[in-house]
């Protein structure tokens, strides 16, 4: 004897019903088969809706009823094309009953729980009838048995309690002599001891099937649905979720109680006692193994089993001095809620007993608030208690697993991961069984929280990083090329899944919430929305993805002003833009403190020396307790290029132009030649060394002439370079006479920071610096005589992009 249950999603269309028929035909070759069916997908909701409309006096209820009728007749036509007239007539008769009932509700404007059950029971009656007729039209000899004749309940309409003894004996008696190979039964519906139609609660067809399996001591109970088993999290919300192969009853019960809708929680109880395994299978993919729920001794090597969520929760908090140490207080509270038939989903109480907090379904809030305030009116009036505090739009997420109690640090890991992603936790509960750790969070954070926890506990330490890149010019584009090339490597070797979610240039922006195709992003960006900095930020915040990073590849002051807003949302910031770190000291300090406060890294390695690990090295020295004594550095790739190429055989103007053409200078070369760019860099190194300094504090002895400095435009500036060629030649000649090299040097000592052109003698580490290379010498307490030296290409789009990339990876590995 096999008991199978097919959910509404499995009987939603003719092709799905055909799958069901094939599965039944196959199974019934070997065994007698009992098949419980739900209403056609969506029909229970439609019935409910038509009833509510009729009750409100809205004639639209008839349209909904007509839609239900059409859906069923259409199915019948598709499934049974011949000799269907009689079957159609029988169906039509049922629809007439349905319409009569709805008309009655419309006339008296009343929809009681009792009438609701009568109304909803049409769904399963209709689906089971169609399934039986379809099988019989194919010579399968199926018998339709009305479950209302077997399952007896009390009269708690809409969620009736089953009278087990009588139900068991009815089921056993009926099937004892039932000769047919296939029996079809409607799920969800039953009858009270008074003979009224009742239902077992939404999703209750699973329970019908479990009752039958238990009464007949079946070998197995199969629940067929639209997903391939019970997943590590709801697969509709967590893309990476996967089916749990084996799970014990307690874990499955805990997951389904906490929102894993795939199995109705009450269904486990009847089969648990008899140790009948439950198999959850996918009607559309019958070959996939699905999930097997069985006895607790399944040994699986996993720390947690699944995560689930209950949406639309309200928290009620009752607090006040009147509660402390007074016995019977909770009894009074829970007694009242029980009396009002309000289900409590979660309870927390601090040991101070100053407050008690409970989570309930949002729909019960009004009733609960009134009831509690009434019950404690006396205490509230005497200020021993505050009126009950209500917080809405919340949800519960729960981490479930039976091995969790043997493991330390599970809740630390759970809350650490949530905190890092700026998910605020309003209440926490952990049962003494330690099978479940639950947290109440904002409804809007549910998807992010599920994905964050899934990544933390179920993806073998794989981590997704979501990038929002502003500025996709020269360097930004190179960064995207590098990400595209390295994605596979990062996944395999560093377990990092880098996704680019948003890109923007100064004109357009484009987003793809599950990661863009790095081959076609340029085209998509062209057709994107008009770019706005606040719009870009809003999108990044609204998408609310875990491990989000904002990457600034611009040189814009306006973009640098955005960082603070990203950090506040715990979105990390990576910048090659130097403006923020060289702006006013308070601004820089604020960014640094926000990064700490909101647990969001702020990285800017490329501010100094492009991809060279200069800031990282400095931060590591500081973090390990070293002290910076002085820094000497050549930090301008462009000035280095210029003075390496400038001789008495060239013209200063031409060399500067060449540097600009090769992309070594800023778009305005005056920023490089005036020393401002280098001054910003040494300022950043000074600040990272722990000094509170501003740009004005950096001594800048210019090598330009007053004439150069007075130029208004870049073109003007170039003309003054021609006019003042003799000045530059004299700088060159002075150095050459001593056999020395001109280098633009930045220095930080105990006397402060300075930048300027220097003549460097042979033998000095700066003397042989080639091309656009940078060099930094750190003299520290641990490296007092022989400095720690970092040297290499310090300018260019490729190395800058790779520096940004390294910062992004640092965040990923964090
Ligand atoms: P049926 O109509 O077959 O009873 P349900 O809609 O009641 O189907 O249950 C199946 C749905 O449960 C899935 O489509 C999925 O969206 C949802 N679900 C929620 N949590 C889980 C989970 N952990 N594993 C599988 N499905 C889940
Ligand atoms: N048809 C009912 C519902 O939608 C019962 C079920 O599907 O299990 O809730
Ligand atoms: Mg269901």
Pinpoint the residues of the chain covered by CATH 3.30.360.10. Answer: 614-795
Q: How far is the CA of 765 from the centre of ligand 2 (A)?
A: 79
Examine the pLDDT at 486 and tell me if it is beyond 80.
Answer: yes
User: Which pair of structure tokens corresponds to residue 478?
Assistant: 């190179």
Pocket test for ligand 2, best of 10, 12, 39, 43 (most atoms within 8 A of CB): 39
Q: What angle do CA 762, 765, 770 make, to 5 degrees?
A: 90
Closest ligand to 40 CA? 2
How far is the centre of ligand 2, averaged over its atoms, from the C-alpha of 216 (Å)? 23
Whether residue 647 has pLDDT greater than 70 = yes
User: Could you read off the pLDDT of 656-674 as tens digits, one per residue?
Assistant: 999 998 878 877 899 999 9
How far apart are alpha carbons 158 and 189 in whole angstroms?
10
Please give the number of the atom of ligand 1 that sits closest to the Cα of 229: 25
CB of residue 208 inside a 6 A radius of ligand 2: no
What ligand has the least distance to the C-alpha of 254? 1
Does the CB atom of residue 39 touch ligand 2 within 6 A? yes
Please determine, for residue 169, whether its predicted confidence score (pLDDT) is greater than 70: yes
- How many angstroms is it from 29 CA to the middle of ligand 1? 29
Atom number of ligand 1 nearest to Cα 10: 3
**233 CA → ligand 1 middle, Å:** 10
Q: Which two tokens stand for residue 4?
A: 């199978």
Determine what percent of the chain is predicted with pLDDT higher than 90: 84
Q: If you measure from the C-alpha of residue 20 to the centroid of ligand 1, how many angstroms do you get, rounded to a whole number?
A: 18
Q: Rounded to an integer, what distance in angstroms lies between the CA atom of residue 795 and that of residue 772?
A: 6
Task: Look at residue 668 in the predicted model and tell me its pLDDT.
Answer: 87
Ligand 2 atom closest to residue 203's alpha carbon, by position in its atom list: 8
CA nearest ligand 1 atom 12, residue? 262
φ/ψ of residue 539, rounded to 5: -65, -45
Q: Is the overall model pTM greater than 0.75, yes or no?
A: yes
Q: Which tokens is 358 given?
A: 């409970």
Residue 408: band (very low, low, confident or very high) from pLDDT cuts 50, 70, 90: confident
Q: How many helices (H) and strands (E) does the chain have?
A: 30, 30
pLDDT of residue 140: 87
Ligand 2, atom 5: nearest CA belongs to which residue?
Answer: 203
Alpha carbon of 39 to ligand 2 centroid (Å): 6
Please compute the mean of the pLDDT values over residues 711-718 and round it to a whole number. 95
pLDDT at 300: 61
Reported as half-sphere exposure (CB side, CA atoms, 13 A), residue 279 has a value of: 16
Q: Which ligand is nearest to the CA of 188?
A: 2
Within 6 Å (CB) of ligand 1, which residues are found? 7-10, 38, 203, 225-227, 230-231, 233-236, 260-262, 306, 308
Q: Of all protein residues, whose CA lies closest to atom 8 belonging to ligand 2?
A: 203
Taking only the tens place, the pLDDT of each residue in 21-72 is 999 999 999 999 999 999 999 999 999 999 999 999 999 999 999 999 999 9
- From 6, 10, 44, give the residue whose CB has the most ligand 2 atoms within 8 Å, as the site to mutate: 44
What's the confidence (pLDDT) of residue 225?
97
The 3 state secondary structure assigned to 107-164 is: HHCCCCHHHHHHHHHHHHHHHHHHHHHHHHHCCCCEEECCHHHCCEECCCCCCCCECH
Whole-number Å distance between alpha carbons of 784 and 779: 5
Mean of pLDDT over the chain? 93
**Pairing mode of beta strands 344-349, 152-153:** unpaired
The correct CATH number of 614-795 out of 1.10.760.10, 3.40.1350.10, 3.20.20.150, 3.30.360.10 is: 3.30.360.10
Q: In which band, very low, low, confident or very high, does the pLDDT at 1 lie, cut at 50, 70 and 90?
A: confident
Closest residue (by CA) to atom 6 of ligand 2? 203
Render the burial of 660-695: b for 16+ CB within 10 Å, e for the rest: beeebbeeebbbbbbbbbbbbbbbbbbbbbebebeb
- What is the reported pLDDT for 515? 95
296 pLDDT band (50/70/90 cuts)? low
Annotated catalytic, 539? no
Cα separation of the two ends of the chain? 55
Distance in Å, CA 73 to ligand 3 centroid? 24
Atom of ligand 2 nearest to the CA of 200: 5
Write down how long the chain is: 814
Asked if the model's pLDDT at residue 364 lies above 90, the reply is: yes
Contacting residues for 68 by C-beta, under 8 A, at least 6 apart? 43, 46, 47, 50, 95, 98
Ligand 1: which atom is nearest the Cα of residue 41?
Answer: 2
Q: In a mutational test of the pocket of ligand 2, which residue from 185, 190, 205 has the highest number of ligand atoms less than 8 Å from its CB?
A: 205
Which atom of ligand 2 approaches the CA of 188 most closely?
Answer: 5
Tell me: pLDDT of 298 over 60: no
> Which mutation among 38, 207, 227, 251 tests ligand 1's pocket best, with the greatest number of atoms within 8 A of CB?
227
Superfamily of domain 463-609 in CATH is NAD(P)-binding Rossmann-like Domain (3.40.50.720)
Of 681, 699, 736, 770, the catalytic one is 681
Within the chain, which residue ranges are assigned CATH 3.30.2130.10? Answer: 306-443
Pick 301 or 767 by higher pLDDT.
Answer: 767
| CA 451–ligand 3 middle distance (angstroms) | 23
Residues in the 5 Å CB sphere of ion ligand 3: 7, 203
Architecture in CATH of 306-443 = 2-Layer Sandwich (3.30)
Rounded to the nearest angstrom, the distance between the alpha carbon of 636 and the centre of ligand 1 is 60
> Please, where in the chain does CATH 3.40.1160.10 lie?
2-41+127-226
Q: Quick check: CB of 796 below 6 Å from ligand 2? A: no
The CB of 27 under 6 Å from ligand 2? The reply is: no
Query: Using a 6 Å cutoff on CB, does residue 401 contact ligand 2?
Result: no
Counting residues of the chain whose pLDDT is more than 70, the rounded percentage is 98
Question: Hey, what are 302's tokens?
Answer: 């996993």
Residue 247 pairs with which residues in a beta bridge? 293
> Is the shortest distance between the CB of 115 and ligand 2 below 6 Å?
no
The confidence band for 81, taking pLDDT boundaries of 50, 70 and 90, is confident
**What digits encode the pLDDT tens for the residues 372-394?**
999 999 999 998 889 999 999 99
Whether residue 123 has its Cβ less than 6 Å from ligand 2? yes
- Give the integer Cα–Cα distance in Å for 731 and 678: 20
Choose the residue to mutate in 35, 68, 120, 203 for probing ligand 2, maximizing ligand atoms within 8 Å of C-beta: 203
- For residues 70 and 98, give the distance between their C-alpha atoms in angstroms, rounded to a whole number: 13
Condensed to tens digits (0 to 9), the pLDDT of residues 305-362 reads 999 999 999 999 998 887 777 778 888 999 999 999 899 999 988 766 688 999 999 9
The number of the ligand 1 atom at minimal distance from the alpha carbon of 309 is: 20
Ligand 2 centre to CA of 202 (Å) is: 5
How many beta carbons lie within 10 A of that of residue 284, not counting itself? 16
Helix (H) or strand (E) holding 534: helix 533-543
Q: What is the mean pLDDT of the segment spanning 96-109?
A: 98
In DSSP terms, which residues pair with 754 in a beta bridge? 699, 747
Nearest to 749 by CA among 811, 693, 670, 665: 693
Q: Ligand 2 within 6 A of 153 CB?
A: no
Ligand nearest to the CA of 4: 1
Handedness of CA 453, 456, 457, 460 (dihedral sign): positive
Where in the chain is CATH 3.40.50.720? 463-609
- Position 447 confidence tier, pLDDT thresholds 50, 70, 90: very high
Q: Strands across the sheet with 189-192, in order?
A: 152-153, 189-192, 197-199
Other C-beta atoms closer than 10 Å to the C-beta of 301 total 5
Give 505's contacts (C-beta < 8 A, 6+ positions apart). Answer: 471, 472, 473, 476, 525, 531
Q: Look at the domain 2-41+127-226 and name its fold.
A: Carbamate kinase (3.40.1160)
Q: Which ligand minimizes its atom distance to the CA of 10?
A: 1
242-247: average pLDDT: 94
| Ligand 2 center to 266 CA (angstroms) | 14
């Amino acid at each position: 004897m096999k008991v199978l249950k097919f959910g509404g999603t499995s009987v939603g269309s003719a092709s799905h019903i055909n799958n069901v028929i094939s599965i039944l035909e196959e199974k019934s070759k070997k065994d007698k088969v009992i098949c419980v069916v739900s209403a056609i997908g969506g029909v229970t909701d439609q019935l409910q809706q038509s009833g509510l409309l009729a009750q409100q006096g809205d004639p639209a209820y008839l349209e909904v009823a007509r839609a239900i009728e059409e859906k069923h007749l259409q199915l019948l036509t598709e499934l049974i094309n011949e000799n269907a007239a009689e079957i159609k007539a029988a169906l039509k008769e049922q629809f007439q009953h349905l319409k009569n009932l709805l008309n009655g509700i419309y006339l008296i404007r009343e929809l009681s729980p009792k009438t609701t059950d009568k109304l909803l029971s049409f769904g399963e009656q209709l689906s089971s009838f169609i399934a039986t007729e379809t099988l019989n039209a194919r010579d399968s000899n199926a018998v339709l048995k009305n479950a209302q004749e077997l399952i007896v309940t009390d009269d708690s309409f809409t969620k009736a309690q089953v009278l087990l003894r009588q139900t068991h004996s009815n089921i056993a008696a009926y099937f004892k002599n039932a000769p047919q190979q296939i029996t079809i039964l409607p799920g969800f519906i039953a009858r009270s001891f008074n003979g009224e139609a009742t239902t077992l609660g939404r999703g209750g067809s699973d329970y019908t099937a479990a009752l039958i399996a238990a009464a007949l001591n079946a070998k197995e109970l199969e629940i067929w649905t639209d997903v391939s088993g019970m997943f590590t999290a709801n697969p509709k919300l967590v893309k990476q979720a996967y089916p749990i192969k084996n799970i014990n009853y307690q874990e499955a019960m805990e997951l389904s109680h906490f929102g894993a809708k795939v199995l109705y929680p009450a269904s486990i109880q009847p089969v648990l006692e008899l140790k009948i395994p439950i198999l959850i299978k996918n009607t559309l993919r019958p070959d996939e193994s699905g999930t097997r729920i069985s006895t607790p001794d399944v040994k699986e090597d996993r720390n947690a089993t699944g995560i689930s969520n209950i949406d639309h929760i309200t928290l009620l908090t009752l607090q006040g001095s009147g509660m402390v140490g007074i016995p019977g207080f909770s009894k009074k509270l829970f007694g009242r809620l029980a009396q009002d038939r309000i289900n409590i989903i979660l309870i927390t109480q601090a040991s101070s007993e100053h407050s008690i907090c409970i989570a309930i379904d949002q729909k019960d809030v009004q009733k609960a608030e009134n009831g509690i305030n009434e019950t404690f009116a006396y205490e509230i009036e005497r200020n021993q208690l505050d009126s009950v505090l209500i917080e809405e739009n919340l949800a519960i997420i729960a981490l479930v697993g039976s091995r969790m109690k043997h493991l330390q640090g599970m809740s630390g890991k759970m809350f650490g991961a949530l905190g890092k992603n700026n998910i605020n936790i309003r209440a926490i509960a952990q049962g003494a069984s330690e099978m479940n750790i639950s947290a109440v969070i904002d409804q809007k954070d549910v998807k992010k929280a599920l994905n964050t926890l899934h990544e933390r506990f179920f993806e073998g330490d794989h981590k997704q990083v979501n990038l929002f890149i502003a500025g996709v010019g020269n360097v930004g584009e190179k960064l995207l090329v590098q990400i595209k090339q390295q994605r596979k490597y990062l996944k395999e070797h560093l377990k990092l899944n880098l996704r680019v979610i948003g890109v923007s240039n100064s004109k357009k922006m484009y987003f793809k919430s599950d990661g863009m195709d790095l081959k076609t992003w340029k085209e998509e960006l062209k057709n994107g929305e008009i770019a706005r900095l606040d719009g870009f930020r809003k999108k990044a915040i609204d998408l609310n993805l875990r491990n989000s990073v904002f990457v600034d590849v611009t040189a814009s002051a306006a973009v640098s002003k955005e960082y603070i807003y990203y950090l506040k949302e715990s979105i990390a910031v990576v910048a090659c833009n130097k403006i923020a770190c060289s702006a006013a000291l308070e601004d820089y300090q604020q960014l640094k403190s926000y990064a700490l406060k909101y647990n969001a890294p702020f990285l800017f390695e490329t501010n100094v020396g492009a991809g060279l690990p200069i800031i990282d090295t400095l931060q590591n020295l500081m973090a390990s307790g070293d002290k910076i004594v002085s820094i000497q550095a050549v930090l301008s790739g462009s000035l280095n290029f210029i003075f390496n190429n400038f001789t008495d055989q060239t013209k200063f103007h031409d060399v500067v132009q060449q540097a600009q053409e090769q992309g070594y200078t800023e778009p305005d070369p005056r920023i490089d030649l005036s020393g401002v760019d280098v001054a910003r860099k040494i300022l950043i190194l000074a600040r990272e060394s722990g000094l509170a300094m501003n740009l004005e504090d950096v001594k800048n002895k210019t090598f330009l002439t007053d004439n150069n400095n007075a130029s208004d435009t870049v073109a003007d500036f170039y003309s003054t370079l021609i006019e003042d060629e003799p000045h530059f030649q004299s700088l060159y000649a002075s150095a050459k006479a001593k056999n020395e090299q001109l280098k633009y040097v930045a220095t930080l000592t105990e006397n402060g920071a300075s930048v300027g052109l220097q003549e460097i003698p042979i033998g000095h580490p700066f003397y042989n610096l080639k091309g656009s290379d940078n060099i930094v010498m750190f003299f520290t307490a641990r490296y007092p005589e022989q400095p720690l030296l970092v040297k290499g290409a310090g300018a260019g789009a490729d190395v800058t992009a790779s520096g940004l990339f390294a910062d992004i990876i640092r965040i990923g590995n964090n």
